[in-house]
């Protein structure tokens, strides 16, 4: 009976025929009263994991969301589906806030969106004590681990919700969390024996491309012109100043680009966010927070002009491309100066030393992805514990394999040094011994007397760092102690040490982007030819965009492209047929069915 009702809500409200990934398992876990952690890829439907229970359960669901813009988008989207939701945040005036609270107390609301700071501040305590809370959802839960340790301390306090709402189940949702991050999220939120559901991290429609930085604006311009001249994209930069300079440079090159960062006025941020939501072709140049939780499905590329600080961040940000499942690009350039900059930023945070050690390791893993000689996609998947055989065939390393060099001897030198220093030291000390450094840490331990001392003095520190990172991330060596990041050997090490396996690593000179882009033969396109109704699709798109402008909504909230393609395929002429369209529930049938079916009728043979 429960499952039938859940499927009814899924279809009648949201217009979907079936659950995806681990949605149903996560929902059932919540309804069984269990704390739940759900890891699903971007575009995988994480929000339904708490929205459907919110409609199933009596009472109200509190959704903790990190950004005001994200709350606005979620509430706007839910209202289009006929779901009663609202937000309480600093963007509301006192009168608007009181009106929203009165609506809640009158029983007219199922979901309330709040910020961590808002729900913990105390000024909502009296109001929330009058509300029957049935579920607490922590959206973008990776922020609990990432931001909580760095610069938004209220994330580390979200476990206090267990005291405020005893017995209420908590669901945390994110697209990115390795095993250590999942453990941290569960601990921070004080989850009790949580059910953890991890879907595949694979996004097969995204093409990963990583180049060394040479002339970044030339490289970026060539990438956009060769692959996405008429598409919407996001360009990420590390600093506000670079965001401004990059947006101006792109505009000068003829691209419709706007900046977005916290230093802009609220008016300009809102204007540029609106352009991103409504324009068919727009490039937003932004700092990393932009785009978190966005629902726009047709972002065709995400470009990074600076190295992300972890593979989690990289995966989260690149995942904002191609939510509709169509071919999209994740393009990045990097330089070793990025590592210096990110390291300096990390060292100046208030985070404790144990967190900084993990963060340094994650940065090393990110750099190792850039240096990897083999399939980028499988490297990312392996980082999240998902092993795949062979090559993906759709990343730059697979399409155009890089020049490689025989690193077997250098790998043996590193492994021998790890072994002879008794597998008790981290990467820095191992490299100091190899390079023959006589610093106090080396001499105090007598390591200058080892046979491996100075065997790699002819090569720079950067070279050995690169080899060591790749050995670690290919699984030829491992971290023995996370607190001290000491390295040790494993069974796989013997394959190299005993000479049974040759190890090739990437030579750090990537192929030029123009060559790489053209050779792939893949070009992300907004068209789908399988229905053969391009003229109807264009007409439906124009109608969709017209309605969106009139209602001041992002066009994808009215209908996304997948729904329009479905209309072209099904050619619905009745209410029942229109309800078969992807993403059409009763509210959207009532609001838009007559107008869209009228247009479709004009194209009937």
pLDDT more than 70, % of the chain? 93
Band of pLDDT at residue 516, cut at 50, 70 and 90:
very low
Q: Which residues pair with 331 in a beta bridge?
A: 209, 303
Distance CA 338, CA 522 (A): 30
Distance CA 469, CA 472 (A): 5
Distance CA 319, CA 325 (A): 11
Residues 481-504: pLDDT tens digits? Answer: 766 678 999 988 988 988 778 888
Residues 241-262: pLDDT tens digits? Answer: 999 999 999 999 999 999 998 8
Look at the block and give the residue holding tokens 């699709």.
Answer: 537
Token output for 308: 């992300």
Band of pLDDT at residue 292, cut at 50, 70 and 90:
low
Band of pLDDT at residue 528, cut at 50, 70 and 90:
very low
Q: What is the pTM of this model?
A: 0.71
Domains and CATH numbers, the chain: 2-198 (3.40.50.300), 206-395 (3.40.50.300), 404-506 (1.10.10.10), 534-601 (1.10.150.80)
Residues whose CB is less than 8 angstroms from the CB of residue 461 and which lie 6 or more positions away in sequence, other chains included: 431, 435
Please determine, for residue 383, whether its predicted confidence score (pLDDT) is greater than 90: no
Secondary structure letter of residue 402 according to DSSP: P
Q: What is the pLDDT of residue 141?
A: 86
Complete DSSP assignment for 483-498: TTTEEEE-HHHHHHHT
Q: Taking residues 189-202, report their average pLDDT.
A: 91
Q: What is the pLDDT of residue 249?
A: 95
Band of pLDDT at residue 34, cut at 50, 70 and 90:
very high
304 near 314, Cβ under 8 Å?
yes
Please determine, for residue 595, whether its predicted confidence score (pLDDT) is greater than 80: yes
Please determine, for residue 153, whether its predicted confidence score (pLDDT) is greater than 90: no
Distance CA 39, CA 199 (A): 6
What's the full length of the chain, in residues? Answer: 605
Complete DSSP assignment for 467-483: HHHHHHHTTSEEEEETT
Phi and psi of 46, rounded to 5°? -60, -40
Q: How far is CA 243 from the centre of its chain?
A: 20
Nearest alpha carbon to residue 572 among 538, 592, 601 = 601
96 near 45, Cβ under 8 Å?
no
Band of pLDDT at residue 171, cut at 50, 70 and 90:
very high
Mean pLDDT of the chain: 86
Q: Taking residues 47-72, report their average pLDDT.
A: 90
DSSP strand pairing (504-506 vs 404-406): antiparallel
Q: How far apart are the first and last CA of the chain?
A: 43
Residue 123 exposed, middle or buried by CB count within 10 Å (0-12, 13-18, 19+) = exposed
Q: What is the pLDDT of residue 137?
A: 95
Band of pLDDT at residue 293, cut at 50, 70 and 90:
low
Distance CA 323, CA 313 (A): 17
- What angle do the packed helices 461-473 and 427-434 form, to 10 degrees? 130
Maximum Cα interatomic distance, the chain, rounded to a whole number of Å: 87
Residue 476 C-beta-side C-alpha neighbours within 13 Å: 28
Residues 412-426: pLDDT tens digits? Answer: 999 999 999 999 998
- Cα separation values, 448 from 371, 418, 457, Å: 30, 14, 13
Which of residues 289 and 99 earns the better pLDDT score?
A: 99
């Amino acid at each position: 009976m429960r499952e039938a009702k859940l499927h009814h809500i899924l279809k009648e409200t949201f217009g979907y025929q079936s659950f995806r990934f681990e949605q149903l398992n996560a929902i059932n876990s919540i309804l069984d009263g269990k704390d739940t952690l759900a890891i699903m890829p971007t575009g995988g439907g994480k929000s339904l994991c708490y929205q459907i229970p919110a409609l199933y359960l009596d009472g109200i669901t509190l959704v903790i969301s990190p950004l005001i813009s994200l709350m606005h988008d979620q509430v706007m989207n839910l209202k289009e589906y006929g779901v009663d939701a609202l937000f309480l945040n600093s963007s509301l005036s006192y009168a608007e806030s009181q009106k929203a609270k009165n609506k809640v107390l009158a029983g007219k609301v199922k979901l309330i969106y709040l910020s961590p700071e808002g729900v913990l501040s105390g000024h909502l305590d009296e109001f929330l004590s009058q509300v029957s809370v049935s579920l607490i959802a922590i959206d973008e839960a990776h922020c609990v681990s990432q931001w909580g340790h760095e610069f938004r301390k209220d994330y580390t306090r979200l476990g206090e919700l267990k005291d405020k709402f005893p017995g209420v189940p908590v669901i945390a949702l994110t697209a990115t969390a390795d095993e250590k991050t999942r453990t941290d999220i569960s601990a921070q939120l004080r989850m009790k024996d949580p059910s953890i559901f991890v879907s595949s991290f694979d996004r097969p429609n995204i093409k990963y491309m990583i180049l060394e930085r040479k002339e970044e604006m030339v490289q970026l311009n060539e990438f956009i012109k060769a692959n996405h001249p008429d598409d919407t994209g996001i360009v990420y930069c590390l600093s506000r100043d670079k965001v401004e300079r990059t947006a101006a440079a792109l505009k000068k090159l003829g691209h419709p680009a706007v900046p977005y960062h916290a230093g802009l006025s609220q008016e300009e941020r809102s204007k540029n966010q609106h352009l991103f939501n409504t324009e068919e072709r727009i490039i937003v140049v932004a700092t990393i927070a932009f785009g978190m939780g966005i629902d726009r499905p047709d972002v065709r590329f995400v470009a990074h002009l600076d190295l992300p600080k972890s593979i989690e961040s990289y995966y989260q940000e690149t995942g904002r491309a191609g939510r509709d499942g169509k071919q999209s690009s994740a393009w990045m350039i990097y330089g070793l100066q990025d590592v210096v900059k990110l390291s300096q930023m990390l060292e100046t945070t208030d985070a404790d030393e144990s967190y900084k050690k993990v963060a340094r390791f994650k940065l090393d893993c990110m750099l190792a992805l850039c240096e990897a000689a083999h399939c980028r996609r499988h490297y990312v998947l392996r980082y999240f514990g998902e092993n795949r055989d062979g090559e993906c065939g759709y990343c730059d390393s697979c399409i155009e394999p890089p020049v490689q060099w025989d690193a077997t001897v250098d790998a043996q030198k590193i492994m021998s040094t790890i072994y002879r220093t008794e597998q008790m030291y981290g990467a820095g000390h191992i490299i100091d011994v190899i390079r023959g450094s006589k610093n106090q840490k080396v001499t105090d331990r007598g390591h200058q007397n080892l046979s491996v001392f100075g065997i790699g003095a002819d090569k720079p520190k950067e070279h050995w760092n690169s080899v060591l990172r790749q050995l670690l991330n290919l699984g030829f060596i491992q971290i023995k102690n996370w607190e001290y990041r000491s390295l040790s050997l494993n069974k796989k090490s013997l394959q190299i040490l005993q000479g049974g396996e040759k190890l090739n690593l990437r030579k750090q000179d990537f192929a030029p982007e123009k060559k790489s882009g053209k050779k792939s033969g893949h070009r992300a396109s907004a068209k789908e030819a399988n229905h053969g109704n391009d003229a109807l699709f264009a007409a439906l798109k124009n109608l969709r965009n017209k309605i969106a402008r009139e209602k001041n909504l992002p066009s994808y909230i009215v209908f996304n492209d997948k729904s329009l393609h479905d209309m072209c395929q099904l050619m619905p002429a009745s209410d029942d047929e229109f309800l078969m369209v992807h993403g059409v529930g009763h509210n959207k049938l009532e609001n838009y069915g007559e107008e869209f079916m009228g247009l479709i009728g004009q194209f009937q043979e």
